Structure 1
Amino acid sequence: MTQHAQAPRGGAAGAPGSAAAILDRAYKKATWKLIPFIFVCYLFNYLDRVNVGFAKLEMLDALKLSDTVYGLGAGIFFIGYVLSGVPSNLMLHRIGARRWITTMMLAWGTLSASLMFVTTPSAFYVLRFFTGVAEAGFFPGIVLYFTHWFPAERRGKVMALFMSAIPVSGLVGGPLSGWMLQHFAAGQGGLAGWQWLYLLQGLPTVALGVMVYFYLNDSIAQAGWLTADEKTLMQGALAEDEKKRLAVSDSGQSFASVLRNGSVWMLGTIYFCIQMGVYAINFWLPSIIKSLGFRDPATIGWLSALPYLAAGVFMVWVGRSADRRGERRWHLCVPMLMGLCGLLLAAKFSSNPLVVMLGLTLATMGALTSLPMFWPLPSAFLGSAAAAAGLALINSLGQIAGFVSPFLVGWIKDATGSTDLALYILSSVMLVGAVLVQRVPAKVVNR
């Protein structure tokens, strides 16, 4: 153990006063303090991003919009997201997570709720674009934030717990959105069901943004809920983690060196392949279920929750397995292969509701679990000086899929009357990503 991480009190390893015991206690405290709250913030972040998939069930008919218009509006969010990702994360690195996350959440919560006032395609596009701008720094900022608290060997479980907010947002958001559409179908208060959906799912984000300012700490040193011994050992563990990362990383310390590094661009490509499958599921799952013959919004909501329930359980289990075994590549590759198999199954047997639901469940489990299993890879490559911009760059490259995927599915559905061809294309893209994962050096990411 290095001088930074020496036990402040005597005791055998594992004893109550030993360094290992103090460190374990500190990480348990940090996990329980940070993860539940950040989990709820990310749940509403994702819900605000994809609730347009449920609003579509009524919004398109009410405003006389086509599937192509919907796909473009759903996807244009990510143009703003990609353009703003790197500068937003640099701003977080400069002024601190607490102030910048508060600012972002107030902005995107207000913009998301404002979608209730949309009457034209142009207004839909503009609001979706600026919502993407406002949200851009949240996810990569949280990934960066975790690197200031948890070393690499503990980050797989943390990321899985945090990103389980995605399937939970589907698990909760599906039935909730279906209920809202059904309950407010009569037009209470002069608003349609889809308008109430945007309003009631956007306002909680504003309230959470205010809470962030008073709840989060920017660093270990500022955490009054940690003892001096716990702070010392956690900071020492992060210092050791940084040394290990620099010993095996070839990314350099500057953002310029990241831009010149082919491995970083390859990681961005892998993330793009994962997100192509993820966003097809997020934006089109309710519509695919409706095409199976289900018309009641509440029924569609409950059926859409089933794949997310399975994905949430699977995601946490895989995250723990990855940390326990110290293995990263196959814990990412196998879920990606599951995702593509599920998409193929749903497309091949599109006339059989039971098989389609099975395929969609398998696809959701695989695609969504791939997300937290991906992020320990770039964290292993990037030194702390490059992490703020580097993580945002990789995230932005992946989020391009957020524009391409829903627009592609919408265009193909308008052209062919079915989503089957789109699912075949998306499964092929995920296969490319799974192959690229095996090109990532095991010595860098497996630890």
Structure 2
Amino acid sequence: MDKTSPDHLSVAISKAIKRIIPMVTLMFILAYLDRANIGFAKQQFQYDTGLSDAAYAFGAGIFFIGYALFEVPSNILLYKVGARIWLGRIMITWGLVSASMMFAHTENVFIFLRFLLGVSEAGFFPGVILYLTFWFPLHIRARVTGYFLFGAPLAFIIGGPLSGGLLTLDGTPFAFGLHGWQMMFLVEGLLASIVGVWVIFYLDDRPEKAKWLNASEKKALSDKLAAEDEQKIAHGPKGALAALLDIKVLYLCLIWFTVQVCGYGIYFFLPTQIATLMGTKVGLLVGFVTAIPPLCAAIAVYYVPRISEKLGERRIVAAVTFMLGAAGIAISGFADSVPVIAITALCVAAAGHLAMQPLYWTFPSSYLGGTAAASGIALINSMGNLGGFVAPNIRVWAEQTFHSARAGLYFLALVTFVGGVMILLLRRMGMDKKVMAPSTTGSSAALN
């Protein structure tokens, strides 16, 4: 058998999935938990500190300003230094800062630490997206990106009961004199730092350095990835600066902005929205119910990329999925007097928001190569993540301006729908290249 046969390629991909994906998914769980756990602490934290709704929204969102400012240089450094060391460093740093949130007794300290958390975590998400391009060819990338994105709903599925449980320790001997929200920040932050140390020893930068692949598998995977990268460099922007100024990259930034407005507009307020629907306060019960929409999102993010693969269609599937999310957001506001319908609609919203993302990321990763990929992917994520700053502030503004909690949800739904339309228009931008998997039996079998 030829040493670079599709069989060796598919076996190498299968091994890489089993080795890499569980780790990066765990990393994303902790990343999402440490940036979004403020939503669980909101009621208790504001009660103990006297923080206003406006200050909370500003502090929740300023994370993304720090994140955006350092995103591009962080990803370029990852490309130069290597993913193993750089991703581990990011996790250790953000874990320590997240744990320090236990000292956020005043508005100024809260805002400063949220900004510093964004600086510390800058480059993580685009770094992993870039790292996946070092290991997985384009035909399988939507699926493996979907596996990675399981971390977001799992952060709520696992983190909801965990955060809710830690909050209920308030006033008990198990809190060691700390408030429940302080215990939550301390425990969840230190978990990230511990995993960051593990990452440094566990991950490999590229297939050539992987001791768990044999020589034939290394060559098959490396050759395939090198061929794809050469094609992207030949047809896409050349170099880091060219990617930052490319009109297609900027268009992708705008789409990702709508995705982040949608996501953080939902998740920063999800525990309190569900608590309001249930007529109770945020605690263990609300933590369990809050895990339901992310669970639905996890199911969707598993199946939607597979449906896309079978249809050979990414753009339309992504757009329709995202528009369904917009409908779910709107219905959750309209049906707020019927909790079962509202929570079901939130399930649709969460599923639509997350399940389109692995399809979305195939567009920039199939267009950008080399250092252009490092800077372009980081720019997309950093500019898009400004939506994480805008979302909580614009939702609070809409609610206060129109004196209705529904207004904020309707505005989020509108932004999400616009994002779906922009995805549909990707064909006009020349960004809808068809991606087909290798047609060999061995290749197909190894990936199932």
TM-score strictly above 0.5:
yes
Cα distance, 1:231 vs. partner? 0.5
Partner of 1:285: 270
- Aligned pairs (5 A) from 1:206-285: 206-246=193-233, 249=235, 251-285=236-270
Query: Given that residues 327 and 413 in structure 2 are in contact (C-alpha distance below 8 angstroms), is that contact kept between their aligned partners in structure 1?
Result: yes
Question: Unpaired segments of 5 or more residues in structure 2?
Answer: 436-448
Query: Given that residues 76 and 371 in structure 2 are in contact (C-alpha distance below 8 angstroms), is that contact kept between their aligned partners in structure 1?
Result: no
SS state at 1:175 partner:
helix
SS state at 2:269 partner:
helix
Q: How many Å separate the matches in 2 of 1:444 and 1:132?
A: 32
Q: Which amino acid aligns with 1:238?
A: L
Q: Pick from 274, 286, 289 the counterpart of residue 300 of structure 1.
A: 286
Q: How many Å separate the matches in 1 of 2:296 and 2:346?
A: 11
Query: Given that residues 304 and 356 in structure 2 are in contact (C-alpha distance below 8 angstroms), is that contact kept between their aligned partners in structure 1?
Result: no
Name whichever of 173-182 and 18-27 sits farther off: 18-27
Query: Given that residues 270 and 437 in structure 1 are in contact (C-alpha distance below 8 angstroms), is that contact kept between their aligned partners in structure 2?
Result: yes
Establish whether residue 338 from structure 1 lines up as the match of residue 333 from structure 2: no
Question: Unpaired segments of 5 or more residues in structure 1?
Answer: 1-5, 9-17
Partner of 1:205: 192
Partner of 1:153: 139
Q: Which amino acid aligns with 2:241?
A: A
Cα distance, 1:381 vs. partner? 1.4
Establish whether residue 189 from structure 1 lines up as the match of residue 184 from structure 2: no
Q: How many Å separate the matches in 2 of 1:132 and 1:180?
A: 23
Cα distance, 1:66 vs. partner? 1.4
Q: Pick from 44, 47, 51 the counterpart of residue 65 of structure 1.
A: 51
Cα distance, 1:294 vs. partner? 2.4
SS state at 2:291 partner:
helix
Q: Which amino acid aligns with 1:329?
A: R
Cα distance, 1:296 vs. partner? 5.4
Q: Pick from 4, 7, 27 the counterpart of residue 2 of structure 2.
A: 7
Establish whether residue 445 from structure 1 lines up as the match of residue 430 from structure 2: no
Establish whether residue 144 from structure 1 lines up as the match of residue 130 from structure 2: yes
Query: Given that residues 252 and 258 in structure 1 are in contact (C-alpha distance below 8 angstroms), is that contact kept between their aligned partners in structure 2?
Result: yes
Q: How many Å separate the matches in 2 of 1:205 and 1:415?
A: 39
Partner of 2:310: 324
Partner of 2:373: 387
Q: Which amino acid aligns with 1:191?
A: L
Query: Given that residues 114 and 198 in structure 1 are in contact (C-alpha distance below 8 angstroms), is that contact kept between their aligned partners in structure 2?
Result: yes
Query: Given that residues 54 and 286 in structure 1 are in contact (C-alpha distance below 8 angstroms), is that contact kept between their aligned partners in structure 2?
Result: yes
Q: How many Å separate the matches in 2 of 1:304 and 1:417?
A: 25
Q: How many Å separate the matches in 2 of 1:396 and 1:300?
A: 32
> Residues 393 and 155 from structure 1, CA distance in 2 versus in 1: closer, same or farther, beyond 3 angstroms?
same
Q: Which amino acid aligns with 2:74?
A: S
Query: Given that residues 76 and 125 in structure 1 are in contact (C-alpha distance below 8 angstroms), is that contact kept between their aligned partners in structure 2?
Result: yes
Cα distance, 1:244 vs. partner? 4.1
SS state at 1:422 partner:
helix
Cα distance, 1:331 vs. partner? 2.2
Q: Pick from 155, 167, 175 the counterpart of residue 169 of structure 1.
A: 155
Q: Which amino acid aligns with 1:258?
A: A
Query: Percent of pairs identical after alignment?
Result: 38
Q: How many Å separate the matches in 2 of 1:383 and 1:94?
A: 14
Q: How many Å separate the matches in 1 of 2:95 and 2:273?
A: 28
TM-score normalized with structure 1 length: 0.93
Q: Pick from 35, 55, 69 the counterpart of residue 49 of structure 1.
A: 35
Q: How many Å separate the matches in 2 of 1:415 and 1:260?
A: 37
Query: Given that residues 363 and 431 in structure 2 are in contact (C-alpha distance below 8 angstroms), is that contact kept between their aligned partners in structure 1?
Result: no
Cα distance, 1:414 vs. partner? 4.8
RMSD: 1.6
Partner of 2:440: none
Q: Which amino acid aligns with 1:290?
A: A
Partner of 1:348: 334
- Aligned pairs (5 A) from 1:77-156: 77-156=63-142
| Count of residue pairs the alignment pairs up | 431
Cα distance, 1:443 vs. partner? 6.4
Query: Given that residues 71 and 408 in structure 1 are in contact (C-alpha distance below 8 angstroms), is that contact kept between their aligned partners in structure 2?
Result: no
Q: Pick from 405, 421, 432 the counterpart of residue 391 of structure 2.
A: 405
